[in-house]
Amino acid sequence: MPLAVTMLNGEDALRRGIDSVTDLVDEVPGVSVNYAFGGTNYGLISIRGIGGADDYKPNGNPSVALHVDGVYQTSNAYLGMPLFDLDRVEILKGPQGTLYGRNTTAGVINAITKGPGEAVEGSGRLEFGSYDYLAMEAAVGGPLSDTVGVRLAVLAEQGGGFMTGAARATWRASSRSSPAWPRPRFRPS
């Protein structure tokens, strides 16, 4: 079956500064975000111009499905959630109901985080910027036995808020978050 797929690997996403789904807009042709309430944490994603008014509702049915590690995220409120320790991000354009089920009229955004490797490995990242912005990311993973492995990634992020422009205000509220991704692997023998 022919598909229009755009894929970014984890290193590309990190180099381009993609740390949330809404950051993909600047990197992927045919994908756009319209912010419903002025902030950058909640918006309507459109692929090829398809996105509905129902997408703005917190309990609405979006036209673009978001999956993180194969788990469907039920609301567009998840668009601002941080993505980190990524293996790859896939954007499938066009209806994907056969492969991914409901809410895929416009397409699917599929974020896959890194899994545990064959050897113990770790990584870390420190980022800082204007308005008291600070982000620290750490990940470690590897095998626990021949059949079980695990990877844990943690992000601590905080920053002050700002607003620019009066007529078309762009703002970012001050924030603090500390999400974590556990990623187990089990291979029965």
Task: Please give the Cα distance from 171 to 38 (Å, whole number).
Answer: 7
Mean pLDDT score across all residues of the chain:
81
- Give the DSSP per-residue string, 5-28: EEEEEHHHHHHTT--BGGGGGGTS
Contacts with 99 (C-beta within 8 Å, 6 or more apart), sequence order: 92, 108
For the chain, where do the domains classified as CATH 2.170.130.10 start and end? 4-113
CATH number of 4-113: 2.170.130.10
The percentage of residues in the chain with a pLDDT greater than 70, rounded to a whole number, is 79
> What confidence tens digit (pLDDT) does each residue in 97-148 have?
888 888 888 899 999 999 898 999 999 999 888 888 888 999 999 999 989 9
Contacts with 175 (C-beta within 8 Å, 6 or more apart), sequence order: 157, 158, 159, 161
Q: Average pLDDT, stretch 47-69?
A: 75
> What confidence tens digit (pLDDT) does each residue in 154-182 have?
988 888 776 666 555 555 556 666 777 78
**Residue 104 per-residue DSSP state:** -
So what's the pLDDT on residue 36? 61
